[in-house]
Each structure stands twice: as structure tokens, then as C-alpha cells.
Amino acid sequence: MKHFLFFCLSMILIFTSAPISSFAYSYGDPNEEAVAEAYKEMVAKAQEKKFDEVKAIYETVQKEIDMHMGPEPSAIILEAIENKDVDTIVSAMQKVLVLNVARRLENVEKNFDNYDTSKRLLAKAFATYKALSPIVQQKDAELDEQLKQQFDIALQSLGNPGLFGVGKKESNINQFKESKKVILQALQDQFELENIETGHFTEEDLERLAAAKKKEWTDLSDVKNWIPIIAIVMVIVAVVVYAVRKRK
């Protein structure tokens, strides 16, 4: 009986701590970053010389880019599309992605005490970096690995509220700030940006972005997010049933 109870308690701890490991390190999958997805599609169409399609794709994210990065990026990108200048389209969009990483990480810091929001924003920052990763890797494979590790460290720094307090892990904002600094400095150097200031965003902006196109891994309307909870309930039920039968 003791061995069985120990096994059940172990299973509960495994499932409740899952968000710290496999679930947490999914970076909020299947979250995607719209700007990063647009970049990948634009590069593919630009290489095929389908500039009308490149423009159409860019226009799907132009409003967001203009809102948070000002009108300058769009002016450069749209002119490059008009001139059918593939190199400028690609390099300008890569700089936009760097600014987007900076924006997301800045907002993680601003919302650091809100685990769900900060984790989602970090997921979007990492999704953006994944689009840049092949370029960084081509120039410096070691740096690419270091940056991915820094994203992992940043994720760990968020801590975890656990489930009903079980599996709770304290957050560490200083650790996050250090990872943020390393990531942004490296990207600024690699993509030759003079600065990576992304402006100031209101809480209303953050709430609007959080609501737009989101499908969080924490959304309980998604069946897969019930798996850890169902598993815990099943283990508890099994313990109760076993205990009742044992008494009989």
C-alpha cells in the first residue's frame, strides 16, 4: 500500500511540475508570431519574383509594424517592393524582426509578475528569433546556440505558479534582464542596427495584442491543455478506489 501511494504521489508531482519542463519549454506552442510568419512568406515570394504577393503579405502586418515601430520600416520595405529589390526587402524585414524581439522582451519585463502573459510574450519573442536563427547560424553557429540557451534561461527565470501551489517555482527578474541584455546586444550587432528602441506601449496595446490571434497553451478550451489535469484526477481517483478496496 505504501509503495502504491508513493507511486501515485510521484505521478501527481510529475504532472503538476510538467509546466516547468516539457509544457513550459514548448514556448507556448502552437503560438506563432505574425510578423515572423509574414517574413518567411515574403522571402519565399520575393525569391520567386512575385512582388505583388510580397506586398499583399506585408500589408497583413503593416498596421502592427507601423503602430509599434513607426512609419519608417514600412516606407523602406514598400519602396523596396516597388523597386523589386529583393536584398533590401529581406534585410529590412530582418531588422523589423530584431525590433520585434526587443518589443516582446520589453513587454515580458513590464508584465513579469503576470506568468501567463509574460510566458506568451516570451513565446512570441522566441518564435520571432526562430525566423532569424538560420541567418545567425550561418554567420556564427556557436552564437545561435548561445542565444537559444539564453531564451531557455529567460523562460526559467519566469518561474512557475504551479498547480494549486504544487510545483511552484520562484521567478527571477534579474536573471531575465541579463538574458534579455545578451540576446538584444547580440542581435543588434549581428543585424547592424544603430539602436533597438521600440517605443512605449500602453496597457491597452498589450491587452489588444494578447487578444489578437491568440491560441494559448493555457487556454482550457484546447483539449490538450486538459491532459495534465485529467491525469491528476485519474491518479487521485485510482488512489481512492484502491484504498476503499483495500479496506474491504
DSSP state of 224: G
Number of H helices, E strands in the chain: 10, 0
Taking the C-alpha atoms of residue 190 and residue 132, their distance in angstroms, rounded to an integer, is 10
> What was the pLDDT predicted at 225?
56
In this structure, which amino acid lies at residue 11? M
> What was the pLDDT predicted at 92?
96
End-to-end CA, the chain: 14
Backbone φ and ψ for 49, nearest 5 degrees, come out as 65, 30
> What was the pLDDT predicted at 32?
82
Count of beta carbons in the 10 Å neighbourhood of residue 97: 22
Taking the C-alpha atoms of residue 135 and residue 36, their distance in angstroms, rounded to an integer, is 13
Grouping H, G, I as helix, E, B as strand and the rest as coil, residue 113 is coil
> What was the pLDDT predicted at 21?
35
> What was the pLDDT predicted at 166?
75
Taking the C-alpha atoms of residue 163 and residue 70, their distance in angstroms, rounded to an integer, is 41
Q: Which of 115, 108, 77 is nearest to 176 (CA)?
A: 108
| β-sheet bridge partners, residue 50 | none
Grouping H, G, I as helix, E, B as strand and the rest as coil, residue 109 is helix
Per-residue pLDDT of the chain (248 residues; tens, 9 = 90+): 555 555 555 555 554 444 433 333 334 344 689 999 999 999 999 999 999 999 999 999 999 999 999 999 999 999 999 999 999 999 999 999 999 999 999 999 999 999 999 999 999 999 999 999 999 999 999 999 999 999 999 999 999 887 776 778 899 999 999 999 999 999 999 999 988 875 433 334 344 434 433 444 444 545 555 666 777 777 787 776 666 677 66
